[in-house]
Amino acid sequence: MSAPTLASTATGSERTERLLNLSDGVFAIAITFLALDLGEIPETLGVSVSSADFVFQNVGHYAVYIACFAVVGFIWLRHHLVFRYVKDRTAVITWLNAVLLMLVAALPFPASILGDTGRLGLALLLILAPMATIALILWIIWEYARWKNLAISSDDPTTTAYLRATLVTSPIVLSVACLLAVINWLTGVEAWWWAAVASVLMLWVLHWLVARKWPAPRPVDVSASSLKGHVQSLKERSDKAVRDLSLVKKLRNGSDAARLIVFTDAVVAIAVTILALQLKAPSGVEFTNESLLELLWALPWWSYILTFLLITLFWLGHVHLFEDVKVADPILLNLNLLFLMFLAFLPIPTEMVGKDQGRDTGALVFYLFCLGLTSMPLAFMNLHARLGQRLTTSTRISGSTVELYVAGLWLAVGFFVAALLIALTGNGFWGNVATAAILMRRRGLRLIFGKAAVDDESG
């Protein structure tokens, strides 16, 4: 039997498996908890303040959530990249990663402060400083692993140049942003605050420039015995797994989808658990049988159950997609992060619908709009992966390009149309009709359950 091999397409190894599982769990909790402090929803929503006014009053909070999610997601992508090449762990790597996770887990706190305080330099610094430190730690982990011969192709100049250039830009850019935030803090000049925010946007610009100057190396396989510690592969790969991973050889900077799947499942699990937070009893109340019955009747069971089922359907769509898709390229990784960002936000409009209780239709419009936003990235993930079988090893997917576009976008368009109908007519009944039509249509079900399964079961 040939010696075990380790591939840069694989996102883990036996020696790093639990470290990566812990990391993905912490990242998932942190980015999901970013949505917990997006403005206190009043119990009298729809009476004391309209749903539309409440949304506009909290636009700043939502912008902070999107920005923080994007940067934390960007850092997770860097962590994903580093440990595609780092295949062993030592006490140094373990503790460096632990410090990184300690900072990641604390990020919801400065994010909530930034959303509440507005344009304060110190508030911005509180979130930029740990992000810059996290990015620096990732760079140090890579350099240490390369020094100790714990990384695949650590002696390859192409790989080294690509990873070093990719990893070093993040701490530099975020450190510059920290400096600008400090200047704003000391001078009170608002222009420095905006300069700090604009500098963070350079993360994506520099990522593009670095990729052009130092292109990602082609995926490689190396013998496990070539690394210090003789790291073994996670398991012996079957012939099918070898064929699946061979797809990535056609891509630049692609990997298997293992970490993406674990990370997604963690975010979905946390999001549906957070949904239950709206089912709570008032504090300091002594219940009687009658008052307890009144509370049970008043709780927003409908919005909780509906959103739980819809998130489950989104998750099923993701499951069926990645039963066929074995490869995650950068586009798929970024679309998946966008999908998770909107999905993790869904508890907010769900709570709004529960507290509004039909007093005005603004909450329902916002709820359906957010469902549409959640559907869109999932639809584009399907299209990107399946059209031309770009990233899939399955031969089950067939049909014309037009049919795939219609099937993939049906849910998203349906939610948007339902939101528009309610906004124009002021009648929430259209939301129920449109949602039922979306879920029952054959083409909508193809997105959720997979085209072949629907064709087989529906006749």
**How much is the pLDDT for 458?**
36
With a cut of 80, say whether residue 163 has pLDDT above it. Answer: yes
Closest to 392 (Cα-Cα) out of 276, 251, 296: 251
**How much is the pLDDT for 440?**
57
Q: What is the DSSP string of 346-415?
A: THHHHHHHHHHTTS-SHHHHHHHHHHHHHHHHHHHHHHHHHGGGSSB--S---S-HHHHHHHHHHHHHHH
Residue 236 and residue 241: Cα distance in Å, rounded? 9
Other C-beta atoms closer than 10 Å to the C-beta of 297 total 8
**How much is the pLDDT for 155?**
65
Higher per-residue confidence, 237 vs 158 = 158
Least confident of 158-167, 174-183, 228-237, 373-382: 228-237
Stretch 388-401: mean pLDDT, rounded? 53
For residue range 37-74, list pLDDT tens digits in order: 776 777 766 666 777 778 888 888 888 888 889 888 98
pTM value is 0.83
Q: Which of 215-219, 271-275, 393-397 has the highest mean pLDDT?
A: 271-275
Check: CB of residue 435 under 8 Å from CB of residue 426. no
With a cut of 50, say whether residue 238 has pLDDT above it. Answer: no
Q: Which of 87-96, 298-307, 315-324 has the highest mean pLDDT?
A: 87-96
Least confident of 50-64, 157-171, 211-225: 211-225
Check: CB of residue 9 under 8 Å from CB of residue 219. yes
**How much is the pLDDT for 432?**
64
* Tokens coding 180: 């600008």
Stretch 358-364: mean pLDDT, rounded? 74
**How much is the pLDDT for 253?**
67
With a cut of 60, say whether residue 242 has pLDDT above it. Answer: no
Check: CB of residue 127 under 8 Å from CB of residue 111. yes
Check: CB of residue 172 under 8 Å from CB of residue 239. no
**How much is the pLDDT for 437?**
60
**How much is the pLDDT for 164?**
87
Stretch 144-159: mean pLDDT, rounded? 80
With a cut of 50, say whether residue 290 has pLDDT above it. Answer: yes
Closest to 399 (Cα-Cα) out of 326, 450, 341: 450
Least confident of 178-192, 259-273, 397-411: 397-411
CA angle 408, 413, 330 (to 5 degrees): 50
Check: CB of residue 64 under 8 Å from CB of residue 111. yes
Stretch 433-457: mean pLDDT, rounded? 51
Token pair 């993939």 is at which residue?
408
Q: Which of 17-26, 147-156, 202-211 has the highest mean pLDDT?
A: 17-26
Mean of per-residue pLDDT scores for the chain: 78
* CB neighbour list of residue 194: distance below 8 Å, 6 or more residues apart: 119
Place 234 in a pLDDT band, splitting at 50, 70 and 90.
very low
Higher per-residue confidence, 254 vs 147 = 147
Residue 173 and residue 195: Cα distance in Å, rounded? 12
Q: Which of 3-12, 46-55, 132-141, 267-276 has the highest mean pLDDT?
A: 132-141
Least confident of 181-195, 240-254, 307-321, 403-417: 240-254
With a cut of 80, say whether residue 100 has pLDDT above it. Answer: yes
**How much is the pLDDT for 398?**
45
Residue 361 and residue 228: Cα distance in Å, rounded? 62
**How much is the pLDDT for 243?**
52
**How much is the pLDDT for 266?**
92
Q: What is the DSSP string of 6-52?
A: EETTSS--TTTHHHHHHHHHHHHHHHHHTTTTS-PPPTTBTTTB-HH
